[in-house]
Amino acid sequence: MIELSEEILLRMYYKMNQARFFEEKVEDLFEKGLIYETTYLSKGEEATGVVSCLALEKGDLTSLTHRGHSQAIGFGLDVNMMMAELLGKSTGYCKGKGGSLHIADVENGNIGANGIVGGGFTLSCGAALTQKYKKTGKVVLCFAGDGATNEGSFHEALNLASVWKLPIVFLIENNLYGMSMPVSKHMNIENISDRSASYNIPGLTIDGTDFLEIYDVMTKSLRYARAGRGPVLVEAKTYRYNGHSSSDAQVYRNKEEVQKWQKKDPLIRFVNYLHENRVFTDKQIQTIEDEAKTSIEHAVEFAMESPEPEITTVLEDIYA
Amino acid sequence: MEINEMKKMTYRDAIRLGMTEEMRRDDDVIFLGEDIGLYGGAFGLSEGMLDEFGEARVMDTPITEAAIVGTAVGAAATGLRPVCEMMFMDFVTMGMDALVNQGAKMHYMFGGQAAVPMVLRLPAGSGSGAGAQHSQSLEAWLCHVPGLKVVTPSTPAQAKGLIKAAIRDNNPVCFIEHKMLYKMEGLVPVDDEFTIEIGKTFIERPGKDVTIVTYGTLLHKAIEAAEFLAEEGIEVEIINPVTLYPMDMKPIVESVIKTGRLIVAHEASKTGGVGGEIVARVVESEAFDYLNAPIIRLGGLDVPIPYNKELEAAVVPQRNDFVHGVYRLLNRE
């Protein structure tokens, strides 16, 4: 098993808690009618989103999915600006024009969450081509879901990335459902990582609730891509606790299944590890959780107090 | 070098020259597409470019239009200025998500973050017997997407000036080149700073009796018609928008105020075509009060492009359609 420093463990646990509290707060705000659009919550997927991003180096890039809040928090986006964007405020990442589906921080390497399932694959090829062409030594972490791997763009992107040896790690968060469609019905293979064989690139399947395995495999995969050896396909099996969106009655699964996954909740596994290895005292753990929670409460305050965009901005930024 | 020095060359060579000059000027410009390297492009457009710029900048791709366009968008958003070629405009249908849902919208939906300086070269049009899937003029689709710019050169000089301007533009520019114009010769400015402003409509031939707005191959048919009509003393004003979206309507409106008569024409299917939009904008403008006759819209028949040469020619407006249109507007038929 890999050994992680206290510093990285602290960052991981803090951000995973931020992600959990963020989603719980979003759920709450949505129920109160304060969020305009529907919501695609990543509760249950905090480990894949946060931990994989913490394996990145400064200057690396990422492309996020529609279920991207944990990923964005992991990548280091500001929770105030994220929450403001969800509330459609002028202080949000996209000045209220994008919403949750389009949270982006391009200058810092987040080329955007994506409302099109499978939309990020080929964009990641382009971002990686820039790194290769300019010899930056940076890698692109491309997030996607299980459903997206049935899109043509997945196969075109993996093929191109393979033949051009582009520095990308494709991380598939396999949460077992493409909206309502179970994986067993939408593909005829057990592991999505098997698809790597078609492109002659490494493919690995990992436990998406195990932060240690995620960090270990992502670190190695990123190193492989950074060395100019081409892309890697990593599949992390995980689970979303909420429905696909806020309008999902979840008729396609039962409570027992959800409860079974909640028993191996990534945050519980994390805190158990901290206890077992006596990394932090109970008080320190409580402090990390409290600070994470407070940061999200501040984000909500910031977002609520922020001004709506001026109507005149509707005609701004059509062209660069 | 004389600033006005001109050299005779084909439309195809003019596009290549414009691209080559921009690639020499700016290392961030890369070129990607199918068979553009060693093969030199399906229409020979990029012959010699691989030799000059190498594989790192002239990148042969697999047959993978969705990935070509998506890669261009991603590369543009992160600091390169990609030019990519669809072998035929028809194949842009395979890359539409990346173009329409991603590239066109990123700057706006990210609140002003990320410029997407890319050029999508689209060989379009009928006249070569290539059939229904290799002959379309799909510009109206693209003109319906805010965030894109859509341009089309009709002469070698425009081809050079416009491809250079498109490469320098900080937005996704769809550069529609008509396949039947590739061999057309014309004088092209040698100056490597010669560009054609995107978003500016041009008067190709001044006149006072009837306004014709058109582009592409039909521009040349309209000019032939105008020359024929000039012998009868009829002065046709021909306007070429060059930038189809967003279109500079001012010269068109001013011309209609002057002539009171308007023909709009394009090779693309008439229904939902760019011509309909031009007409709508004219009748919404102050030019409405100056119209002396109903507007005539010439467009391709609403059919897929057929293979047979005569059938194919029957789909698109011809020189005589312009002549008869002008007669009709002047009550001379």
Q: Is the pLDDT of residue B1 over 50?
A: no
| Interchain contact B293–A (C-beta under 8 A) | no
| Interchain contact A216–B (C-beta under 8 A) | no
Cα separation, A168 vs A148, whole angstroms: 17
| Interchain contact A111–B (C-beta under 8 A) | yes
Q: Which of residues 61-80 of A touch B (CB under 8 A)?
A: 61, 63
Q: Which of B21, B22, B34, B65 is catalytic?
A: B65
Out of A114, A122, A127, name the one closest to residue B66 (CB).
Answer: A122
Question: Cβ of A22: how many Cβ atoms within 10 Å?
Answer: 29
Picking from A152, A163, A139, the residue whose alpha carbon sits closest to that of residue A234 is: A139
Please measure the distance between the N-terminal and C-terminal CA atoms of chain A and give it in whole angstroms: 49
| Interchain contact A126–B (C-beta under 8 A) | yes
Under an 8 A CB cutoff, do B107 and A122 touch? no
Out of B30, B61, B149, name the one closest to residue A133 (CB).
Answer: B30
Under an 8 A CB cutoff, do B56 and A133 touch? yes
Under an 8 A CB cutoff, do B79 and A130 touch? yes
Scanning every residue of chain B, which has its alpha carbon at the shortest distance from the alpha carbon of A128? Answer: B75
Under an 8 A CB cutoff, do A153 and B72 touch? no
**Which chain A residues are Cβ-neighbours of B148 within 8 angstroms?**
none
Phi, psi angles (nearest 5°) of residue B57: -115, -25
The A168-174 sheet, strands edge to edge: A61-63, A140-145, A168-174, A232-237, A203-207
Phi-psi region of A179 (alpha: psi -120 to 50; beta: other; left: phi over 0): left
Under an 8 A CB cutoff, do B115 and A320 touch? yes
Q: Which residue segments constitute the domains of chain B, with CATH numbers given?
A: 7-189 (3.40.50.970), 202-329 (3.40.50.920)
Helix B217-230 × helix B319-329 angle, to 10°: 50
| Interchain contact B15–A (C-beta under 8 A) | no
Out of B71, B110, B147, name the one closest to residue A94 (CB).
Answer: B110
Predicted local confidence at residue B332, as pLDDT: 81
Out of B30, B76, B97, name the one closest to residue A119 (CB).
Answer: B97
Catalytic residue at B65? yes
Catalytic residue at B134? yes
**3-class state of residue B118 by DSSP:** coil
Determine the distance in angstroms separating the CA of B169 from the nearest CA of chain A, rounded to an integer.
9
Cα separation, B200 vs B251, whole angstroms: 9
Kindly provide the ipTM of the predicted complex, given to two decimals. 0.97
Determine the distance in angstroms separating the CA of B318 from the nearest CA of chain A, rounded to an integer.
36
Under an 8 A CB cutoff, do B74 and A93 touch? no
Q: Which of B22, B34, B85, B134 is catalytic?
A: B134
Model confidence over B17-57: pLDDT tens digits? 999 999 999 999 999 999 999 999 999 999 999 999 999 99
Predicted local confidence at residue A108, as pLDDT: 97
Q: Which of residues 182-211 of A touch B (CB under 8 A)?
A: none
Which amino acid is present at B32? L
Predicted local confidence at residue B3, as pLDDT: 58
Model confidence over B242-292: pLDDT tens digits? 999 999 999 999 999 999 999 999 999 999 999 999 999 999 999 999 999
B82's CB contacts (< 8 A; 6+ apart) are A126, B29, B30, B31, B32, B71, B72, B75, B76, B118, B119
Residue pLDDT tens, chain A, 320 long: 788 999 999 999 999 999 999 999 999 999 999 998 888 999 999 999 999 999 999 999 999 999 999 999 999 999 999 999 999 999 999 999 999 999 999 999 999 999 999 999 999 999 999 999 999 999 999 999 999 999 999 999 999 999 999 999 999 999 999 999 999 999 999 999 999 999 999 999 999 999 999 999 999 999 999 999 999 999 999 999 999 988 888 999 999 999 999 999 999 999 999 999 999 999 999 999 999 999 999 999 999 999 999 999 999 999 99
Determine the distance in angstroms separating the CA of B142 from the nearest CA of chain A, rounded to an integer.
15
Under an 8 A CB cutoff, do B62 and A159 touch? yes
Residues forming a β-bridge with B205: B238
| Interchain contact A116–B (C-beta under 8 A) | yes
Mean per-residue pLDDT of chain B? 97
Q: Is the pLDDT of residue B195 over 70?
A: yes
Cα separation, B76 vs B119, whole angstroms: 10
Out of A63, A111, A317, name the one closest to residue B108 (CB).
Answer: A317
Under an 8 A CB cutoff, do A92 and B113 touch? no
Does domain A11-307 sit in CATH 3.40.50.970? yes
| Interchain contact A60–B (C-beta under 8 A) | no
Angle of CA points A169, A174, A177, to nearest 5° = 145
**Which chain A residues are Cβ-neighbours of B99 within 8 angstroms?**
none
Q: Which of residues 153-212 of B touch A (CB under 8 A)?
A: 170-171
**3-class state of residue B254 by DSSP:** helix
**Which chain B residues are Cβ-neighbours of A94 within 8 angstroms?**
109-111, 113
Which residue in B71, B94, B101, B171 has the most chain A C-beta atoms within 10 A of its own C-beta, making it the best mutation to test that interface? B71
The answer to whether the beta carbons of residues B166 and B26 sit under 8 Å apart is: no
| Interchain contact B108–A (C-beta under 8 A) | yes
**3-class state of residue A194 by DSSP:** helix
Out of A112, A126, A164, name the one closest to residue B72 (CB).
Answer: A126
The answer to whether the beta carbons of residues A55 and A218 sit under 8 Å apart is: yes
Q: Residue B26 corresponds to which tokens in the numbers above?
A: 């700016």
